[in-house]
Structure 1
Amino acid sequence: MEFRLELVILPVSDVDRAKAFYSEQVGFVVDHDQRVSDDVRFVQLTAPGSACSIAVGQGLTDAPPGSVKGLQVVVDDADAARAFLLEHGVDAPPVQDLPWGRFTGFTDPDGNGWTVQQMPAWRG
């Protein structure tokens, strides 16, 4: 039995701002932007190389905007990822070296929090 995580809904206060942030600043691809009804809009975005997408929109969740923390993406080079984020106007803390990887991160305009991890060399 396979259970594949393929979509995570992020609560946001402004759909257009979130769409622009993730696509123009973080580099996610916009897969869909559909208004299903007057009360529902669904925007799906996917990070390049990821099998899991995020969705932002209207009428998708009752969770408060910015309440999702601990999302994590894995990159080949944490320093390059941080440089990319900074070049695109996204605040990212200095890369931290830990035994289980190298880390930076970012938050979206609503405060949903992401960790960016470079896996340790020993994991190879």
Structure 2
Amino acid sequence: MSYTQVSNETAAVVSNATAVAFRLEVVVIPVADFDRAKGFYVGLGWRVDVDLDVGGVRFMHLTPPGSMTSVVFGNAVTAAPPGSADGLLLAVDDIDEARKELVSHGVEVSEVFHDEGGGTGGGFRIGNDGRAPGRDPHNRSYASYASFHDTEGNRWLLQEITERLPGRV
């Protein structure tokens, strides 16, 4: 896998391609057990934005610390099978600190890994294929990962980003 950095000039052109802002605000995750999922995410210290139980409809909206995008789950919010979300990404400044924080909350987190081929896509593979142990040997941004599953089987990735690509805020 190759690694291509976009130039500032290209990023400026792409960012002006439309006058309409498209912001990812919410990601829906499929869960089997509402209360178990609620306990997991609230236990991580994620901010509860909405917690509804109206006439048997249960709905929870949470936001991870420092995130502009939130997570929603509940009954009747998605037809996706519980635990089928795979590769949800949490960008972190320090992967070791983020990993320690999750472990302190009782989460089983993989060891830090990178792409064995030297690319930055090591976290976006099925299972453990293509993973090499430890941080990226060149200490590149976007190239060190860790992963964990929530109580429902949804797979999350931590990706260390120390320097953003041009055009990214």
Please report the TM-score for the alignment, with normalisation by the length of structure 2.
0.67
Match of 1:103 in 2: 145
Match of 2:108 in 1: 91
Amino acid at match of 2:41: Y
SS in 1 for 2:97: helix
- For the structure 1 residues 122 and 66, does the alpha-carbon distance in structure 2 shift closer, same or farther, using more than 3 Å as the test? closer
- For the structure 1 residues 122 and 73, does the alpha-carbon distance in structure 2 shift closer, same or farther, using more than 3 Å as the test? closer
**Where do 1:109-124 residues align within 5 Å?**
109-120=151-162
Aligned residues between the structures: 122
Instruction: List per-residue Cα deviations over 1:37-94 (Å, max 9, x = no partner).
Output: 32x2110010011111001111111111000101001111100111111111101011
Note the aligned Cα RMSD (angstroms). Answer: 1.7
Aligned equivalent of 2:69, options 49, 52, 55: 52
- Point out where structure 2 has 5 or more consecutive residues left out of the alignment: 1-19, 114-134
Percent of matched pairs sharing the same residue: 44
SS in 2 for 1:18: helix
**Which protein has the bigger strand share?**
1
Aligned equivalent of 1:68, options 75, 78, 85: 85
Structure 1 Cα separation of the partners of residues 100 and 46 of structure 2:
16
Instruction: List per-residue Cα deviations over 1:6-27 (Å, max 9, x = no partner).
Output: 0111110111110110110x22
CA contact under 8 A between 1:101 and 1:120: conserved in structure 2?
A: no
Structure 1 residue 123 displacement after superposition? 5.2
**Where do 1:6-45 residues align within 5 Å?**
6-24=25-43, 26-38=44-56, 40-45=57-62
Structure 1 residue 36 displacement after superposition? 3.6
Please report the TM-score for the alignment, with normalisation by the length of structure 1.
0.89
Structure 2 Cα separation of the partners of residues 64 and 35 of structure 1:
21
- Point out where structure 1 has 5 or more consecutive residues left out of the alignment: none
